Structure 1
Amino acid sequence: MKRLLLKSIPALALIISGILSAQDIADKKENDTLFFDDFSASSLDREKWNVVGTDFWVNNEQQVYVDSTATIFPVKGAKAKGVENALILKAHYSPNYINYRDNDFDFISGRINTRDKVMFTYGTAMARMKLPEGSGFWPAFWALGGGEWPDTGEIDIMEYVGETDWIGVAMHGPNYSGETPLVNKYFFPEGEDVTDWHVYSVEWTAEELNFKVDDRLIYRVTKPMVEHYGEWAFDNPKYLILNLALGGAYPYKTNGIDKPYNGLPESTVKLIKEGKAEVLIDWVLITK
């Protein structure tokens, strides 16, 4: 079983940088750890995670989420693609799977969250992830407040819409939601892209949030920056979300593709049919 070393700053730096994968880490330090899952169990731990079902749909996404071992499942060995074990969120082509809110859905996928199971205010949230290549894939690692959106805030730790050389980070709240001004893109150094294993994280305090990729600071948002636009919505408990969406508003805004699906080109539909629509998660960690 993968364990987590948090006993020293150098060790934590190695973890975040991705030099160490989770299976190499030992001696987990419980007093600093609010939450940790290395997905080494034979199934998703329902004491830690909720699974979203078909009664949820936003952003003109082209999939519905289903609670199924077809869309959310742990893997080991070669299927974990370079780590000991991982969780996979997988999308499938499933024509005419469901009609929901007058829309026909041809794709299913996975979305999990920690709402009411693991809520946290301040600290560092991070996940080590490997993302798929394909325009219109829209995986995300993010946090929401437990109340009404956007009043209780949103922290987008990582969003990817299918251009492999960059990911986005953002914050949403009252008067700075949707097309938020608090947003930034991170472009990977030459020789790296989203299909490699990377650690995506945010360090959240009462005064600022620092977004990082592999311990590289990529964006800092301070309380005065937020309050220039609206109320600071980041003193309340948040829960984590991991999901793989397909197409929809943000991919469409980036690629301009509307056929065969909004934000989702035929080339990516082919990848989904070939079983290549997978997000792998090595581990998720929240520390004080």
Structure 2
Amino acid sequence: MTSPTAETVRWKTDFFDDFDRFDPDNWQDQILWVNQEDQCYLRDGRHNTREVSDGSLKLRVVDLGSKQPCDNLSKDGERHPDTRYVGGRITTKNLREFSRGKWTARLRVKNSGQPGMFPAWWLLGARNNEPPVQEEDETVCWPLPGSGEIDIFEHHSDGGPDHYAARAIDSQGFCGGGDWQGHMLVQAADLDRFHEYSVEWLGEDIVFRLDEQEVYRLVGWGDRIDEPMFAVLNFAKINDSPMTGDWTMEVDWVRHQYLD
């Protein structure tokens, strides 16, 4: 099958959230401990870790000033150690899940490039077995088929400001076995300004776009990650470096579209 060109594609919208309010029909908190993250995810936006105001969503990492207990659990059931840092993470899991199509978010990151920053906009397969587990078929460990991962926007502070990564995780065929580097683009962008970050399935290919311009194409991946997927927005902290200023990822809107 020949992949259509951008000029021939007609998209129709089947999900759009412009964050006039926090809509529980679209999003829920996701509370877990992964990647040895230093912050603790909180529910219900406590300590200002999640706010919807003035038509946008704000996810933050906040320094509480002293270590506090954290109830986040790892995949192995290990409890997160006490920490002074708290953050926000939300997901469309079991609420808005789609196979293929085009996911886009318009967002920006304040004070990008600081040590430890790890904001992200990404997708996971709908049968993923991480919390919240709410359906009987949520039994597949990452990143096996049914629990695949696509990172549309991921700002890892180790590379400094004004860049982000986009990738698909290549499953190595066992739980926890994922190739993070083999199918990744590192792209320059002024992260303090709003941009549209997208991924779409065009025939046999998966295509990443920045402000509608193609920046990366994974040829032949269209059938490799074909399961329904849910979206995740989160702001994590990956080491104990001190924070400076306001750590906020501001999201203007999120949209999913399908081919007409």
Q: For the superposition of Structure 1 and Structure 2, which TM-score range results when normalised by the shorter chain?
A: 0.7 to 0.9
CA distance in 2, matches of 1:242, 1:87: 10
Contact 1:36–1:283 (CA under 8 A) maintained in structure 2:
yes
Find the aligned partners of 1:164 and 1:154 in 2 and give their Cα distance. 24
How many residues align? The count is 219
Helix, strand or coil for the counterpart of 2:192?
A: coil
Counterpart among 148, 153, 156 of residue 158 in structure 1 = 153
Percent of residue pairs bearing the same amino acid type: 29
* 1:203-253 residue CA offsets vs partner (Å, 9 max, x unmatched): 124511110111121110022xx59xxxx64111000000000125xxxxx
Find runs of 4+ consecutive structure 1 residues off by over 2 angstroms: 99-102
CA contact (8 A) 2:168 2:180 kept: no
What is the aligned partner in structure 1 of residue 252 from structure 2? 282
Q: Distance in 1 between matches of 2:80 and 2:255?
A: 39
Partner amino acid, structure 2, of 1:157: I
Structure 2 unmatched ranges of 5 or more:
1-5, 72-78, 128-139
Matched with 2:137 is none
Q: Which residue of 1 aligns with 2:235?
A: 244
Partners of 2:120 and 2:70 in 1: how far apart?
Answer: 25
| Pick aligned residue for 2:41 from 62, 65, 68 | 65
1:146 counterpart letter in structure 2: A
- The corresponding residue for 1:36 is 16
Residues 245 and 37 (structure 1 numbering): CA distance in 2 closer, same or farther, change over 3 Å? same
Which residue does the alignment assign to 1:255? none
- The correspondence for 2:118, drawn from 138, 150, 160, is 138
Q: Is the 8 A contact 2:170 2:183 kept in 1?
A: no
Alignment of 1:109-148 (within 5 A): 109-133=87-111, 134-147=114-127, 148=140
Kept in 1, the 8 Å contact 2:100–2:201? The answer is yes
**Aligned position for 2:219:** 222
Q: How does 1:1-288 map to 2 (within 5 A)?
A: 32-41=12-21, 44-53=22-31, 56-69=32-45, 70-76=48-54, 85-94=55-64, 95-99=66-70, 101=79, 103-133=81-111, 134-147=114-127, 148=140, 149-151=142-144, 152=146, 153-162=148-157, 163-175=160-172, 177-188=178-189, 193-223=190-220, 233-248=224-239, 261=240, 265-266=241-242, 269-271=243-245, 276-288=246-258
The one-letter code matched in structure 1 to 2:120 is A
Cα distance in structure 1, aligned partners of 2:80 and 2:102: 40
Q: Which has the higher contact order (CA 8 A, sep 6+)?
A: 2
Contact 1:174-1:233 within 8 A present in 2 as well: no
TM-score normalised by structure 2 residue count: 0.78
Q: Distance in 2 between matches of 1:48 and 1:165?
A: 30
In structure 1, the partner of 2:130 is none
Which has the larger displacement, 173-182 or 119-128?
173-182
